[in-house]
Amino acid sequence: MPDPADATVFFVGNATMIIRSHGFTLLTDPNFLHQGQRAHLGWGLSTRRRTEPAMKVTELPPLDLVVLSHMHGDHWDRIARNGLDKDLPIVTTRHAAARLRRQGFYHAVGLEPWEYHHERHGDGTLTVTATPARHAPGSANSLMPPVMGSVLDFAHAGEVDLRLHISGDTIMDDCLSEIPRRFPDIDVGIVHLGGTRILGLTVTMDGAQGVEWLRLIQPESALPVHYDDYAAFASPLRDFQQHVRGAGLSHLVHYLMRGETYRLPVRQSGVRPHRHVPGMG
């Protein structure tokens, strides 16, 4: 049985996290631009960073894997492209994987929704399953890069004892409804917020949608990320906090500040304790 003290999330900033569990060290959505630098969003659009990441790319620990939700400049930037080991496996969308391979990251793995990638360390395993996401409403979605959420299943001796779900950059949409049917027992839900506004459209969840997502996914606990870091983010963290309080869900949410570490709840003997959530099932 893995030591629960070894399962942690370190929040670098934006959607960038270092996740450690079962002998694996993962990096998510690597974004190391400095405060004042601009992230490129395509179609000639960019947004200025308001915050400083909690570490530099050169300060990263040895990594086993990168999980990349999609190819936008606030999730994969020029500093990551130039600073990360080209031999790293990067699990992402097929669209992003093709672009990464052109950049020399030949071990990029492209997934469609519900496809998965499997890694092993001794008797510990990690399975990354791509989940649906939608980055813009209506026909505007075709102008955005394809995006995925991800379920991370950490297992010991064949038994899953830690399951994380990362929303990716998405708005609330019917395509998400299949996630809790396939994965009804999420230990920690990591929700991308910000209410990002591009050309007058909201393309990531704001505070109200973040609470809708909690009600849909029903995680045992939740961590908000992807907030307040860029000028394009129109919904500050306090917006989400207000909606969480109003929904009676404050006991679910841990607010992890940049540079802080959250200890992940590894299940004992694979058992997930039931917790009643107001307004949920």
In this structure, are residues 165 and 154 in contact, taking their beta carbons and an 8 Å threshold? no
Residues 6+ positions from 130 with CB-CB distance below 8 Å: 91, 93, 111, 112, 113, 114, 115, 116, 148, 149, 150
Distance CA 186, CA 166 (A): 10
User: What pLDDT was estimated at residue 44?
Assistant: 80
**What are the two backbone dihedrals, phi and then psi, of residue 152, each rounded to the nearest 5 degrees?**
-105, 115
Q: Which of 222, 193, 198, 227 is nearest to 210 (CA)?
A: 193
Cβ-count burial 114-140 (b if 16+ within 10 Å, e if not): eeebebeeeebbbbbbbbbbbbbeeee
SS3 214: helix
In tens, the pLDDT along 52-76 reads: 999 999 999 999 999 999 999 999 9
pLDDT of residue 53: 98
pTM above 0.75, yes or no: yes
Report the pLDDT value the prediction gives residue 161, as an integer from 0 to 100.
94
Among residues 10, 4, 25, the alpha carbon closest in space to that of 162 is found at 4
Angle between helices 207-217 and 237-246 (to 10 degrees): 50
SS3 of 278, please? coil
Q: What is the pLDDT of residues 242-262, one digit of tens each?
A: 999 999 999 999 999 999 999
Residue 3 is predicted with a pLDDT of: 60
pLDDT digits (tens, 9 = 90+) for 141-177: 888 899 999 999 999 888 999 999 999 999 999 999 9
75 CB contacts (<8 Å, ≥6 apart)?
14, 15, 29, 30, 31, 68, 69, 169
204 alpha-carbon distance from chain centroid: 12
The predicted structure's pLDDT at residue 41: 86
Q: What is the bridge-based pairing of β-strands 201-202 and 197-198?
A: antiparallel
Q: Which of 172, 173, 168, 262 is nearest to 222 (CA)?
A: 262
Output the pLDDT for position 122.
Answer: 86
Characterize the bridge pairing of strands 90-93 and 108-111: parallel
- Flag residues of the chain having pLDDT under 50: 1, 270, 273-281
Report the pLDDT value the prediction gives residue 199, as an integer from 0 to 100.
Answer: 84
The structure tokens listed for 257 are: 């500040």
